[in-house]
Amino acid sequence: MIDIGARIDEATARLNETIVSRSKTIIVVFLVLTAVFAGGMAAIESEEGEMDAFTEGIPEQDALDAVDEEFEGAFDAGEESTQLVHTGTDVLTREELVRSLVVLERVEQRDDLRMESADGPATVVAQAIDPEAETAAEQRRVLEGATNAEVDRTIRALADDPAFASIVSEDFNPNEASASAAIIVIDHDVPGEFSDDDLTDTQRAVESIADDEPTDLRAFGSGIVDEEFENIIEDSMAIVMPIVVLLLLAFLAVAYRDPIDLVLGLLALVMTVVWTFGFLGYAGIPFGQMMIAVPVLLLAVGVDFGIHIVNRYREETVQGFEPVAAMRTANNQLMIAFVIVTTTTVFGFGANVISDLAPIRDMGIASSVGIVFTFLIFGLFLPAAKLEVDQLRERFGVPEFGSTPIASEESSFGRLLSVPAIASQRAPVFFVVVLLLVGVGAAGYGAGVDTTFDEDDFLPPEEQPGYVEYVPEPFAPGEYTITGTINLLEDRFATNQDESVTIYVEGSLEEDHALEALEAPNDDPPSSLAVGDGGGAEAQSIVTVIHSYAEQDPEFAALVERNDRSGNGVPDRNLDRVYDELFASPAGTEAERYLTDDRRGAKLEYAVDADAGQSEVAADAGTFAEDFRYGSTATGEIVVFDAVSDIIFASAIQGMMLAVGLTAVFLVIAYAVLEGRPWLGVANVFPIVIAVACLIATMRLLGMPLNALTATILSISIGIGIAYSVHTTARFIDEYNQLAEPVPALTTTLSGTGGALAGSMLTTSIGTGSLAFAITPVLGDFGLLMALSVFYSFVASIVALPPTLILWARFADSTDGLSALTQRLGIRE
């Protein structure tokens, strides 16, 4: 029979021999590859429309897109438009209206800004006074020639026009003709080759013109939003990465205690990032906000690998071995552990590729490929470089500033780390049962963690944290306007989709019963939609437009009454004529927002209970849609975001289960093949499961939900955390094979490898925790959870693994039928 384990040992020995015998060649090859990957970094593209990437392809979003395309209001902003949000004490005074027209006139005069038309309170009022005034200059002259009283009268006359009401704030007072905010929409006539960058430049130029005028006009539009999203990524990187580097320098200086080793470790980390970013460029994977976490994750694993290889090498050199012999021994012990760690980490990170959300998939791909690069660089390049540098040091007499391992059995730190092994030797079963109960309890509590998806997670705070003021150039972030503008729009205008759902109805809406069919469900809506008088629904639809116009026009009211056989105010015959009269009236523009031209599609907008949760509203909306006699679909931002939340939760759970399953199976097979001891694989997974359960419980305790980025933390925690368990187990097996007693083997393991794990934990948790300084909240939460995950994994490997390995040593070899079977099959002699 073929001894697979022996073959693996032989291949590992050959690889390690190549590293120590051809170290110069390895160094040159890796430096050349680094130059190649550096070329790919120039091809990296930023994620455009990051929010769209999460909702793309979701049925609820497709329905919302169809509704938005089918029903366009008079002042709905298109993709090639710039919105000016006008704010002040009263933006409807003649002076303020004139100032806004001065801005439009200056924009109109600039051919490069391609202004096709503009709509806003000033244009509407001016044309109401003089319908012949078509240009901004003509409209400005009309208002300059009008009296304040004439302007006020015109505004009061427009008060009942739904189109006018849609562009002024909710505090609009018709009696005083005043409002604190208004929206002006500038449409641009752009050619087909007009790029996103061109649109951004156009909108920024409009913003510059508005800023020059003595009035508060904020420019807003898709170009500005895309630019600020891109700047958020760059600014977050500019703030986070220097902090990461400084903290790494500080902690690696303590861990390595030698400047040359420190430089080698940092060089390997930089190479890892260059290779990964170069891959993104060559593969055409966009770099969005979630990708900021990738280099931090790679640094976490890279630091772990680097500290282990240098620390294990030093353990040999302090015993008097020459550099080549010391590196050969260190590599032989660590290479298999590195392969296992790399594979299990790829399982953890790569589990995110099963997500239905493109940004999460891309992050899973990038981090998985990056981990493979990390293994190659730290497993091959760093040992070769370390060996060459030490040989040069010896040749030129350069002293070593710190060549001892982080901890040993004789040190106080080493004795402290070995306490769990000594404490658990008398009652390992008790410790394992207690830890198991802790894990089950934590998992049960953590099962109640919330799941959310919100655009605000990706936006910078409206008021940046105080520390930003002290960030020096060139790392200081720029100013952001989109969050403040979005909040302003939501606060002052009745356009907040977060507080409404949309029902899209399809069918022949000219049938006599059509309008009553639209109204009937409103009498008994689900609880989250029962916000109207008497517990009914509060709806905006073609029926409300009919009622509104009937109150303004007696002739139309008579038409409605003649065709209302049931006497409930809803016409139930001759609907085609009612529609024709409505669409031909001044209310026709508003009617187009709720009924299609072919009368086969209708939109109904429903206010929702502000205290109701996202999932409750979405579920109620779906149930409510089933009550309509026609084919109906529930959509709207709440429904879409709830669908994304469901996908995020499913991805988190599926990714975690996949990561645990693949990791457990791989470790069982790996230890069966390598050691003939498959139950070691189960022992390895146990502490990580405990750590992940505690992490979920902590998320719920801190009120941190599973969102687009933090949902990946469950599988990533397995990928990061398993390294601590594997390194401990790998060293334990080496010592156990020599000492044949579990407690002495664990004492040596925890005092030696445990010291490297402690250094790795401190460096990694502080490094990943630095994401808390990122501008966007979602990255800050992810950084904090990563730091906690690393800490929990370290504690679990020191506290939960020793009693588990003691139990394994006592019972596994004597009861492991699978081990005996593998031995009989010749997998391991």
pLDDT tens digits, residue range 38-71?
A: 999 888 876 655 566 777 777 777 777 777 777 7
Which residues pair with residue 183 across a beta bridge? Answer: 85
Structure tokens at 545: 């437009």
b/e string for 79-116 if b means 16 or more Cβ within 10 A? ebbbbbbbbbeebbbbebbbbbbbbbbbbbeeeebbbe
The mean pLDDT of the chain is 81
Residue 225 near residue 730, CB atoms below 8 Å: no
pLDDT tens digits, residue range 255-288?
A: 666 788 788 888 998 999 999 999 999 998 888 7
Higher pLDDT, 695 or 289: 695
Higher pLDDT, 214 or 166: 214
Question: Tokens 């929206």 identify what position?
Answer: 183
The whole-model pTM stands at 0.72
Residue 434 near residue 688, CB atoms below 8 Å: no
1 has a pLDDT exceeding 50? no
32 has a pLDDT exceeding 90? yes
Q: Rounded to 5 degrees, what are φ and ψ at 163?
A: -65, -40
pLDDT tens digits, residue range 457-473?
A: 777 777 776 666 767 77
Higher pLDDT, 143 or 642: 143
325 has a pLDDT exceeding 60? yes
| pLDDT band, residue 497 (cuts 50/70/90) | very low
Over residues 676-693, the mean pLDDT reads: 87
- CA-based nearest residue to 606, from 546, 526, 538: 538
Which residues pair with residue 334 across a beta bridge? Answer: none
What pLDDT shows up at residue 825?
Answer: 42
DSSP string across 498-551: GGEEEEEEES-TTSTTHHHHHHGGGGS--GGG--SGGG---EESHHHHHHHHHH
pLDDT tens digits, residue range 330-360?
A: 777 778 878 888 888 888 888 888 887 788 8
What pLDDT shows up at residue 814?
Answer: 54
Percent of the chain whose predicted confidence (pLDDT) is above 90: 13
